[in-house]
């Protein structure tokens, strides 16, 4: 079950964290994986390691906020069966103290970046006879989180785009779903803690972990496993759905 044998898959933001875990798992399940990231060197190291293991992987330098760059990469990829829109940036701030340039930066990557990839990839997916699109949303699309104004805006847009794409491409055999993670332990979390809480990293890590009712953060491998299911043929009856991967955060935080 859950094989992606001979399917072509593009994963954005694949050089670290969740994107890296998804790209590696997809390759190991038989997909021809294309790792898209601004950090081309890191993406190539991951792709090269996968090739050494005998899997199919290729890295592409790509800033999803740049439409021309996205179009060039997807033209080079050709017919596509799977797209994972994972690339994103975060921002801390409320409606008053979020600067316009920070709002625009989040929008350009998290919203327009998804739009760019959809615009370029859907024709390639149609040429392949259909496929699966997976967007990385967030629990902030469904619940209020302090000081995440721009980020919440962007992930709410991703959740809405998921529904729109799922509806528009039913006739083309293209499914579209999303995952809404709570806190997941990634290099971003470690960097955030070291920058903002030097000397208190372990204490704050524990505090952040306990905001999930299950008592810990998620792992990138757990996100990748759900992504594998939603992009596999076993999920062929699922489209237009969002999956909270949140340790009970949305329903059980009283």
- When mean pLDDT is compared across 4-13, 61-70, 155-164, 185-194, the lowest value belongs to 185-194
* pTM of the predicted structure, to 2 decimals: 0.96
Q: What per-residue confidence (pLDDT) applies to 176?
A: 98
Radius of gyration of the chain, Cα coordinates, nearest whole angstrom:
18
pLDDT exceeds cutoff 70 at 254: no
Question: Rounded distance, CA 102 to CA 138, Å?
Answer: 19
Indicate if 192 belongs to the active site: no
- Asked if 196 and 90 sit in the same domain, the reply is no
The structural domain count of the chain equals 2
- Residue span of the structural domain in which 44 resides: 8-182+219-248
Q: Average of pLDDT values for 126-144?
A: 96
The residue annotated as part of the active site, out of 151, 169, 192, 197, is 151
Binning pLDDT at 50, 70 and 90, where does residue 253 land? confident
Whether 234 and 189 share a structural domain: no
| Distance between CA atoms of residues 62 and 47, nearest Å | 15
Q: Which residues contact 116 (CB under 8 A, 6 or more apart)?
A: 64, 65, 66, 67, 70, 71
Indicate whether 227 and 162 sit together in one domain: yes
Q: What is the DSSP string of 139-202?
A: GGGTS--TTBHHHHHHHHHHHHHHHHHHHHTGGGTEEEEEEEE--B--HHHHHHHHHHSTT-HH
How does the average pLDDT of the chain come out, rounded?
A: 96
Mean pLDDT for 84-111 is 97
For residue 38, give the DSSP letter. S
Q: Which residue has the higher pLDDT, 26 or 189?
A: 26
Q: How confident is the model at residue 195 (pLDDT cuts 50, 70, 90)?
A: confident
Inside any domain, residue 1 = no
| Residue owning tokens 């372990």 | 202
């Amino acid at each position: 079950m859950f094989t992606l044998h001979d399917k072509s898959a593009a994963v954005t933001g694949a050089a670290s964290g969740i994107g890296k875990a998804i790209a590696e798992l997809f390759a190991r399940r038989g997909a021809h994986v294309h790792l898209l990231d601004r950090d081309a060197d890191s993406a190539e190291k991951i792709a090269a390691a996968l090739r050494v293991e005998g899997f199919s992987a290729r890295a592409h330098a790509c800033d999803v906020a740049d439409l021309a760059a996205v179009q060039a990469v997807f033209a080079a990829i050709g017919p596509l069966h799977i797209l994972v829109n994972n690339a994103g940036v975060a921002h801390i701030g409320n409606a008053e103290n979020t600067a316009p340039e920070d709002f625009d930066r989040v929008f350009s990557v998290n919203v327009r970046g998804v739009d760019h990839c959809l615009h370029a990839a859907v024709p390639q997916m149609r040429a392949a006879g259909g496929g699966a699109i997976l967007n990385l949303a967030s629990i902030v699309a469904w619940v209020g989180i302090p000081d995440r104004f721009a980020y919440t805006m962007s992930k709410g847009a991703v959740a809405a785009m998921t529904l729109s794409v799922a509806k528009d491409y039913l006739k083309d055999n293209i499914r579209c779903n999303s995952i809404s993670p709570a806190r997941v332990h990634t290099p971003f979390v470690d960097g955030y803690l070291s920058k903002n809480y030097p000397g208190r990293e372990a204490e704050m890590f524990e505090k952040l972990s306990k905001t999930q009712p299950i008592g810990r953060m998620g792992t990138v491998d757990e996100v990748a496993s759900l992504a594998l299911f939603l992009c596999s043929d076993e999920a062929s009856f699922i489209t237009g759905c969002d999956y909270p991967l949140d340790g009970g955060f949305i329903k059980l935080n009283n």
